[in-house]
Structure 1
């Protein structure tokens, strides 16, 4: 019996030694290799000039806490009955919740059908908002209410799922302002100055994003050892928060289980000279509807 105990103890002791020798964060979620650095938080929207000078120009991420609660439809978009009544017959693009490097063709589905299955099936809506009726639900936040941003607005998208999503690590060739109406997300950001150290990205055919092939849930630190020395920024985004991710910053979003709804705005890089010329001496409200903003990006904002 004592001999068996010695063998068992030796096996356990060996296992502990092997685990202890693994690199920090090995086979754990991305970011587990070291604590995050904080992202600046503020409880108000800056005007477009301050937004550019303090965040876009220096490429500095920021979280605007609770600001989306000011939008008139904040509670409506948190209500499935409201969406079913107004948009039940509208068709949206449905994709599998588990993201892959090879992007699959979205499946069209009516909102009413999606609302019946999204809590049980591995699907989510990612829909570019253009002329579909849902454009009336989008409120453009104060930081983007300037003709310069209107000229640069690339895409507006809606994201809707039952949560539990885990995006791949990627970066975009556009600026990004995202507003979360429902749910919670853990945000991980990596400065693009570490791009050469990552050496693990694949370029998609559309060239909008670079997407990593690494498993963000179980990072192989032997294969991707350079990650162990790369610092990262982190924040928990809650319902009502908006956050800015600068162009080319690598990011990964982990959604907590539960209803998740967001609107995000992608816009092209800003030119300093034309930006200040377009935005100076102008009154900016807290928000503007997307259709009105598209029709009158500057005139509607005059005092």
Structure 2
């Protein structure tokens, strides 16, 4: 992950023509044409077992924009045990239902997006370069628990979206095209099945996967969340509060919030 304050710098640097000596230096860099982050300084993250309670999470991580890895937290969701290809293929998917897939694992928007049935994606993804980036299909939303720190009633109106990433894995960076990447500091996180990661507002991330994996991203309104009254948030979680029981306002709704407009 890298702090998003660097994004503008990256966009500008990538558009500047490097001199011959600069190009030679970049080509000889240990990370050139390697996976993102290779050859750069790496920093580790704080971690804890399971979800922190709401007030602790906001005081120690959300407000100071500090990332956190929550070991085994996703194991609370039925999805951890249930989500296999066989399970998906046996689902009763509505005939009109489709999901959005991207045609290349690198997010190059020129490759386009396509819509296919979820079960059709499951049948072909292991033999192709496609991957799914889509809201959780409604017929499996009950398999995913709303993360504990966001279950406080005063935060439910801040929920924006729940995005499911599904890929067969496998994805080098060209420093001559993107020289700014040769100067970035990274936080390295090795996640195991069942782990959750909090990525702070204005941070971006890169995922390196060696095999098939599924991830669910829960997006919530940073502005509204930090202003929410947490005094009545209880130090407990409800394992029955699944994603089919919450309302997501979407990104357009988030941009209408007073804090975002300011």
TM, length-normalised to structure 1: 0.65
Change in CA separation of 1:106 and 1:87 when aligned onto 2, cut-off 3 Å: farther
Q: Which protein, 1 or 2, shows the higher relative CO under an 8 Å CA cutoff with sep ≥ 6? A: 2
In terms of Rg, which structure is larger? Answer: 1
1:28 to 34, 41, 44: 34
**Post-superposition CA distance 1:69-92 (Å, at most 9, x none):** 122332101x22211112455432
TM, length-normalised to structure 2: 0.74
2:85 to 65, 80, 88: 80
2: CA distance, partners of 1:162 / 1:273? 36
Contact 1:42 1:63 in 2 (8 A): yes
Which residue is 2:156 aligned to? Answer: 150
Higher strand share: 1
The total of aligned residue pairs comes to 222
Change in CA separation of 1:96 and 1:273 when aligned onto 2, cut-off 3 Å: closer
Change in CA separation of 1:117 and 1:58 when aligned onto 2, cut-off 3 Å: same
1:219 paired with 2:174, answer yes
2: CA distance, partners of 1:59 / 1:125? 28
Provide structure 1 residue ranges, at least 5 long, that are not aligned to the other structure.
1-17, 167-216, 296-303
The two structures, once aligned, show a CA RMSD in angstroms of: 2.7
Which residue is 1:37 aligned to? Answer: 43
Contact 2:152 2:233 in 1 (8 A): no
Contact 1:66 1:240 in 2 (8 A): yes
**Post-superposition CA distance 1:15-67 (Å, at most 9, x none):** xxx89992342332221232311011111211111111111101011111111
Higher helix share: 2
1:267 to 220, 243, 248: 220
Provide structure 2 residue ranges, at least 5 long, that are not aligned to the other structure.
1-23, 249-262
Contact 2:155 2:225 in 1 (8 A): no
Change in CA separation of 1:284 and 1:120 when aligned onto 2, cut-off 3 Å: same
Which residue is 2:209 aligned to? Answer: 255
1:129 paired with 2:126, answer no
Contact 2:43 2:188 in 1 (8 A): yes
1: CA distance, partners of 2:30 / 2:217? 33
Q: CA deviation at 1:261?
A: 0.9
1: CA distance, partners of 2:29 / 2:180? 11
Contact 1:29 1:219 in 2 (8 A): no
